[in-house]
Amino acid sequence: MKLTINQVAQLVNGTINLPEKGEETLDKFSKIEEGKKDSLCFLANAKYEHFLYASEATAVLVNKEFKPQKKIKPVLIYVEDPYQALAKLLQFYEQASQKNSVGIHKTAIINEKTKIGKNVFIGAYAVIEAGVEIGDNCIIKAHSFIAENCKIGKGTELNTGVKVYHNSKIGKNCKIHAGTIIGSDGFGFAPKSDGTFDKIPQIGNVVIEDNVEIGSNCTIDRATMGSTLIKSGVKLDNLIQVAHNVEIGENTVIAAQTGISGSVKIGKNCMIGGQVGFAGHISIADGSKINAQSGVSKSIKEPNKSWSGTPAREFRQHYKALAMLGKIPSLINRIKKLENNQKE
C-alpha cells in the first residue's frame, strides 16, 4: 500500500517541514536505525536521535517540539505523539491490507440452532455447537471451537485454535489469539480425610467485555459460581493464567507469564509486568504498577503506586532494601574483625 507524505500527515493530523516534498510516496515502515528510501520511521525517544542524521528514510514522525541539530535527509512529520501516530498508521495499514473474507468453509461443523450474523467468516474445521450467537462481522478462524450457548459480539475475531467453553460471553471488537482457552474449569478440589480430593464443579462462566485483546495460549478459567470477568479495554499478553472468579478492571494491561490466583480483583488502568504472581482473594487498587517477577501476597489498597519484589513492596522501599542487601558482605567482614580483636 502506497501513501503520499501529505496523506500520512492528514491521517495523523500532522504537519510537514518540506511541503514541496508532500507528494513523495511511502510504501513501508521501518525502524529509525534501519530507515530506507520510501519508508516511514518514527522518533519518540531522544536517545535514538543520532540515527536520524544518517537515516535514508523518506519521512520520519517526530514530536511538534523537535528541532534537528544537524542536516537531515528525511521529511519531518510533526505530530503531538509520534508513538500514538505510528499506532494509528499501523492500524490503518492492517485494516487496508487484510482480506475481507466472508463465508463459511465447507469443512466447518455448525449446529443448526446457531445464530450467525451478517458478513461473518468461519474457517476450516471450526466447530460451533447449539445455542451459540455470533454477531455481525465476526471472524472465526480455522480449528476454533465454540461450545453451546456462547455469545460472540460484533466484530470480534477468534484466531486459529481458540477454544471457548459453554456459556461464555465475549463482547464486541475483541481479538483473541491462537491457542487461547476461554472458560476451562477453575482449579477447585476439596481435600478428603484419606488424602484424596473431590472435584468442586465449576458452574459459573467467563464474561469478556468489549475491545479486549488476549494473546496466544492464555487460559481464562470459568467461575466456580458467578463469572470470571474481564472488563472493557483490557489487554493481556501471551501465556497468562487467569483463575476462577478473577475480575480485571477496565484498560488494565498485563504482560506475559503472569499468574492470577482465584478471586483476585484487579482495578482499572493497572500495568502489570511479566511473570508477576498474585495470591488468591486479594484486591489491587486502580492505577497500580507492578514490576516484572513480583510476588503479590497481600491486597494493595492505595491507588496509583508502583510495587516491586517478592513479597511486593512499594517501589522505593524495595530498592532501599536491595541497597541494604548489597552492604551485608562488608558488614559481615566488619563483625569478623571485631570478633577477632576481642579474642586477641
List domains and CATH numbers for the chain.
Answer: 3-97 (3.40.1390.10), 103-319 (2.160.10.10)
Q: Specify the 3-state DSSP secondary structure of 116.
A: strand
Strands 15-16 and 28-29: unpaired
**127 is written with which cell numbers?**
466447530
Which residue's C-alpha cell is 529509525? 32
pLDDT recorded at residue 326: 79
pLDDT recorded at residue 97: 67
Contact 157, 142 (CB under 8 A): no
Whole-number Å distance between alpha carbons of 312 and 318 = 8
Whole-number Å distance between alpha carbons of 328 and 312 = 21
pTM of the model: 0.85
Which residue's C-alpha cell is 500527515? 9
CB contact burial 130-161 (16+ within 10 A = b; e otherwise): ebbebbebbbbbbbbbbbebbbbbbbbbbbbb
Which residue's C-alpha cell is 481435600? 191
Element (H, E) at 340: helix 328-343
99-147, pLDDT tens digit by residue? 657 899 999 999 999 999 999 999 999 999 999 999 999 999 999 999 9
**258 is written with which cell numbers?**
503472569
| Residue ranges in the chain whose pLDDT is less than 70 | 1, 97-100, 343-344
pLDDT recorded at residue 340: 81
Whole-number Å distance between alpha carbons of 62 and 305 = 31
Of 65, 80, 67, residue with least CA distance to 13: 80
Catalytic residue annotation? 244
C-alpha distances in angstroms, 144 versus 108, 110, 171, 178?
A: 10, 12, 17, 9
Contacts of 105 (CB under 8 A, 6+ apart): 122, 123, 124, 125, 126, 142
For residue 14, which amino acid is it? G
CB contact burial 322-334 (16+ within 10 A = b; e otherwise): eeeeeeeeeeeee
Of 275, 219, 221, 285, residue with least CA distance to 249: 285
pLDDT recorded at residue 327: 79
Helical segments of 12-130, H only: 49-52, 82-97
Of 73, 62, 75, 82, residue with least CA distance to 17: 75
Contacts of 325 (CB under 8 A, 6+ apart): none
